[in-house]
Structure 1
Amino acid sequence: MRAITGVSPRLGAVLAGLALLSACGSQQQPAPPPPAVDVVTVTPGAVASVIELPGRVQAVRTAEVRSRVDGIVERRMYEEGTDVGADRPLFRIDPRQNQAAYNSSAAALSRAEAGAANARAVVGRYAPLVKQQAISNQEYDAAVASARQAEADVASARAALDRAKLDLNYTLVTSPIAGRAGRAQVTEGALVSAASATLMTTVEQLDPVYVNFSQSSSELLQVRRRMATGEIKAANLDRVRVTLILEDGTVYAPAGHLDFLDMSVDESTGTVSLRAEFPNKQRLLLPGQFVRARVEAGINSNGILVPQRAVQVSGQGASVMVVGANNIAVARPVKVGDLQGGSWVVNEGLKAGDRVIVNGLQKVRPGQPVTIAKPATPGAKPASAR
């Protein structure tokens, strides 16, 4: 290099240093090492096939207690919100008007019975006279007709008395079923009517209870096909086990069973109605309560479980990162089922032997190599084997 004239020795040293830095910057930086990840090897096993659906609790029996006679409510004979037995008195309606009607019907029956007795006596007297031709056949036939009419009057009066007795009994309003009586809808002094069937209270049977939910007809058809092919094996189709998840996320301890499956599809929603029955001795389940039902459809002998942290869920669906050939990371879309413990059930997208990344995902990019920090380990143990 030709010397630069007219430059001070200090300035020359600075220029030489800048030239050296420029030469160093032109050299290529070494590539970072592949990120280290932990993987699990997919190992199919026995996995419970569970369908989780939202549902509502419903009382097994609900009786609306209504007035069957007209009158004024005299008193309420039960404590609101308590259990009552069948035929337990709930309300008392003023019975005086119905008692008077009953007495009138009883008197009418006595009068009809007296008239029938007299008509029968006339027929008895006329019978020998007609044989002696002391009276005409026409008179005898008229007496027989009068006796029959009197008997009919007796039957009519007896029916009226029975109706009056029913109305009198209806003044004591009783519970048609055993269950928990709700809030009274009428108070003492209220006028109730038989014509409008005034609602007085409601009694609900809460042990056991029903849980109603719906299942997509397409998903139900898929489950049926998997059962038909033997992919899912159910122990007892007549008593399919169902568990409940309450609103606070806890599991309702007593398990129930599926007891009703509608044989038609709702045209507006494309769903099929199902119902499960649960014991409810502690009254934890209340009508109208929102729950989630987990229907145990059977056991899938070749099910796949993947740790929850390995599955990435977005608006486009679920996916996992697998280690492919030459330890290259590959994004794999999957179709997941229910969440069992800390693992997702993978229905589609993975096969035996696939290596799924569970740790270090934040450093991995599709198409880039990775380093397996730990040897491949079997997948999580199925929930059915825990």
Structure 2
Amino acid sequence: MKRIITLSLFALFLISCADKNAGAPANPPATLPVMDIAYASAATETEYPVAIQGKTDVEIRSQVNGTLDKIFVDEGAYVTAGQPLFKINDNPYRQQYNNATASLNAAEAAVINAQLEVEKLTPLVANKVVSDYQLKTAKANLAIAKATVAQSKAVVVTAAINLGYTTIKAPVSGYIGRLPKKQGSLISQADPESLTTLSDTKEVYAYFSLSENDFIHFKTLYKGNTISDKLKGLAPVSLVLSDNTIYPQLGKVDMVDGQFDKTTGAITLRAKFANANGLLRSGNTGRVKISIQHPNTIVIPQDATIEIQDKIYVFLLDKKNAVTRQPVVVSGKSGTDYLIKEGITIGDRIVLKGFENLPDGATIVPDNTKKSVAKI
């Protein structure tokens, strides 16, 4: 009997709880911030690895063979155009020059003798004292003597040039590289290694490559009938150094290679940077950062999206404030924002925050509605 009474009381308790739950009001819709989609302007930045070279990088090589007698500069020194760098032992070349000069003097003396012979025979032939044949022979000898003088002068010039080559001077101003050869080394024109490298780095060139698709996009993005016209419309570029610091001077892309590399399928571009303080040297590496303007595009915060299985979604509101998960196609990034190519359009509304647990079809109360803001 007691057991029957206990079960009856428990049943009455359940009925009472059910009545209370049935009478409880449903949870109200969540109030969430919403954005109205409108056109905006944004800038995206793309980075490309670069190899930096001086405006002029010259290999310094000897044009004569010999022993390296003197080195006038040190590694890393700044030199000006025309400044002596190296001295090759000039004794053999000085002797060649002296011999050539002596041969020229002898040839000039032979011309004088041949001229005198012609002058002597001319009146004799006129008076028919000697035959005309002797005068013709004398004139031929004079011509040979003059040709010998011309040949000797050429030998003297060559000897003088070779003698001058024994002093190796800087062809341009710039910084001296490594000096692999030391004083006393035997120098040859055929040496595979240069004496040093001279870099003019008052301006430096940063070379980087674009893939074929990127280059096509580049050509369609900027106005102009020629590549030169399009380069004029390209904004200044930044240089990110290997330690991720930004080089203080902005650069300008001023050259596009004439053809694609058959091996890599890429084309080379060149950006020019001023380097008056010599902070950059040939061989530096880094990344060039190109900013591209995107007018009249759709820009939304990355925080207003969710990524599921490599797809990006937003939570789209209909006219009744019901939520639908909508996939979008992202065309680029601008800071913490996405540039949207497909999926939403002008006039749509999306939920900005608090959408993580919203099922499709859930109704919300829009709050803090804001339009997409132009970003320059």
TM-score range, shorter chain: 0.7 to 0.9
1:242 alignment partner in structure 2? 236
User: In the TM superposition, what is the alpha-carbon distance from 1:118 to its structure 2 partner?
Assistant: 1.3
Closer, same or farther: CA 53–36 of 1 in aligned 2, 3 Å = farther
TM-score norm. by structure 1 comes to: 0.82
SS in 1 for 2:195: strand
Deviation readout 1:219-245 (Å, 9 max, x if unpaired): 33334335469xxxxx97536223224
| Secondary structure of residue in 2 paired with 1:255 | coil
The code of the aligned residue for 1:147 comes to L
Q: Which amino acid aligns with 1:112?
A: A
Cα 1:133/1:22, change in 2 over 3 Å: farther
Q: Is the 8 A contact 1:207 1:279 kept in 2?
A: yes
Q: Secondary structure at the match of 1:165?
A: helix
CA distance in 2, matches of 1:117, 1:39: 107
Aligned counterparts, 1:89-104, within 5 A: 89-104=84-99
**Structure 2 counterparts to residues 204-219 of structure 1, below 5 A:** 204-219=199-214
The offset of 1:21, in angstroms, is 8.0
Contact 1:312 1:320 (8 Å CA) reproduced: yes
Per-residue deviation, residues 357-380 of structure 1 (Å, max 9, x unmatched): 443354445x25263563221224
Distance 1:108 1:288 in 2: 50
Which 10-residue stretch deviates more, 251-260 or 32-41?
32-41
The CA distance in 2 between the partners of 1:125 and 1:185, in whole Å, is 64
Question: SS at 2:362's partner residue?
Answer: coil
Unaligned runs of 5+ in 2: none
- Deviation, 1:79, is 2.2
**TM-superposed deviation, 1:189:** 0.9
Equivalent of 2:83 in 75, 78, 88: 88
Q: What displacement does 1:77 show? A: 0.6
Distance between the aligned counterparts of 2:318 and 2:282, measured in 1? 52
Q: Distance in 1 between matches of 2:155 and 2:278?
A: 45
Residues 136-184 of structure 1: CA deviation (Å, up to 9, x unaligned): 2222111111111111111111111111111111111111111111111
**Change in 2 beyond 3 A, CA 1:214/1:33:** farther
Distance, in Å, in 1 between the alignment partners of 2:85 and 2:307 is: 56
2:55 matched residue in structure 1 = 60
Q: Which residue of 2 aligns with 1:381?
A: 374
Q: 1:159 aligns with which of 154, 158, 174?
A: 154
Distance 1:317 1:55 in 2: 32
Secondary structure at 1:199's aligned position in 2? Answer: coil
Question: Across the two proteins, how many residue pairs are aligned to each other?
Answer: 367
How many angstroms apart in 1 are the aligned matches of 2:96 and 2:203?
Answer: 43
Q: Which residue of 1 aligns with 2:298?
A: 304
Does structure 1 conserve the Cα–Cα contact (< 8 Å) formed by 2:317 and 2:324? yes
Please show how residues 165-314 of structure 1 align to structure 2 within 5 Å.
165-196=160-191, 198-227=193-222, 237-238=231-232, 240-246=234-240, 247-296=242-291, 299-312=293-306
Task: Tell me the percent identity.
Answer: 28
Task: Tell me the CA shift for residue 47 of structure 1.
Answer: 3.1
Once residues 324 and 92 of structure 1 are traced to their aligned partners in structure 2, the CA distance between those partners, rounded to angstroms, is 84
Structure 2 residue 42 is matched with structure 1 residue 47: yes
Return the letter of the residue paired with 2:270.
Answer: R
Change (3 A) 1:228 1:74: closer
Find the aligned partners of 1:156 and 1:359 in 2 and give their Cα distance: 92
Kindly provide the amino acid, as one letter, of the partner of residue 121 in structure 2.
Y
Distance 1:239 1:291, change over 3 A: farther
Q: Distance in 1 between matches of 2:323 and 2:103?
A: 102
TM-score, normalised with respect to structure 2: 0.84
Report the RMSD for the aligned CA atoms in angstroms. 3.3
Distance 1:251 1:128 in 2: 89
Flag the 1:16–1:84 CA change in 2: closer, same or farther, 3 A.
farther
Q: Which residue of 2 is the match for residue 232 of structure 1? A: none
240-249 vs 97-106, which deviates more? 240-249
